[in-house]
Amino acid sequence: MARIVFDLDGTLLNSAPDICAAGNAALATLPAPRPAPLSLGEATGFIGSGADQFVARMRAARGIDAAAHPALLATFIDAYEGATGLTRAYPGAVEAIDALRAAGHRLGICTNKPVGPLAAVLDAFDLARRFEVSIGGDTLPVRKPDPAPLRAALEALGKGPCLFVGDSETDAETARAASVPFLLFTGGYRKAAPRDLPHDALFDDHAALPDLVAGMLAGIPDPATAR
């Protein structure tokens, strides 16, 4: 029995199309001449450090002045709140979650997604009941890669061995900062090659996750060492 915390965007859900659309909705509120819309690839590269950083990266890519930041962030969050229609769970992700739950593990979410859109997407994918805790990018005063949100999620799950499952540079750094073993999903939004991201195991298919977790746990020493 373990405590397993998951990142969300790029790990369980392919949400980049909705986030891209929210970014473009924000850009569309700027006065003419308007910057070109974000491509999906560009927007995907901006995900992983929360809404504020997404907007900052979008501004940098389009040469938009910092003075426009607060209004752009507000319109981005507004469009983002209910944006679930273009999001898809990765194949086998929900089944893997259910298999891990059936094996007795306690599951949580630690994402940099703001709590508004987080609640909407957990609801849309019927995920809320599958996780005992979900920490968003604005739940605490700090967000990943600060280890505090991951620690808070683990704390809420009680005691036992722990693992963190994520897709990005931010997640690898968070796991290392919290001294928690890290499972890297290679099909998400990372920029670096997997070999350049510190990880304890990796997978490209969620169907492999339950066995991978079982194998890792068999080799993991006492949980207290990872707290």
Ligand X SMILES: O=C(O)COP(=O)(O)O
Tell me which long-range contacts 77-82 makes (C-beta under 8 A, separation of at least 24).
77/51, 77/114, 77/116, 77/117, 78/25, 79/21, 79/22, 79/25, 79/26, 80/18, 80/19, 80/22, 80/51, 80/114, 80/116, 80/117, 81/116, 81/117, 81/120, 82/117, 82/120
* 113 contact choice in Mg ion, ligand X, none (CB below 5 to 8 Å, kind-dependent): ligand X
- Which residues of this chain interact with Mg ion, rule CB under 5 A? 7, 9-10, 167-168
Q: Binding of ligand X at residue 113 (CB under 6 A)?
A: yes
Distances (CA, A) of 180 to 4, 68, 98, 159, 163: 10, 38, 22, 13, 6
Q: How far is the CB of 106 from ligand X (least distance, A)?
A: 20
| Closest to 174 (Cα-Cα) out of 152, 149, 195, 153 | 149
Nearer to Mg ion, 5 or 160 (CB): 5
With contacts defined by CB under 6 A, how many residues of the chain interact with ligand X? Answer: 14
Is 9 assigned a ligand-binding role in the annotation?
A: yes
Q: How far is the CB of 8 from ligand X (least distance, A)?
A: 4
Site string for ligand X, 25-54 (x = CB under 6 A): ----------------------xxxxx---
- Of 10 and 147, CB closest to ligand X: 10
Catalytic status, residue 7: yes
Q: Per rule CB under 6 A, is residue 134 in the interface with ligand X?
A: no
Nearest to 10 by CA among 52, 40, 53: 40
Smaller CB separation from ligand X, 103 or 202:
202
Cα dihedral sign, 120-123-127-130: positive
The one of Mg ion, ligand X, none whose footprint includes residue 49, by CB under 5 to 8 A per kind, is ligand X
The binding site for ligand X (CB under 6 A) comprises 7-10, 47-51, 111-113, 137, 168
Instruction: Catalogue the active-site residues.
Output: 7
User: Binding site for Mg(2+): which residues?
Assistant: 7, 9, 167
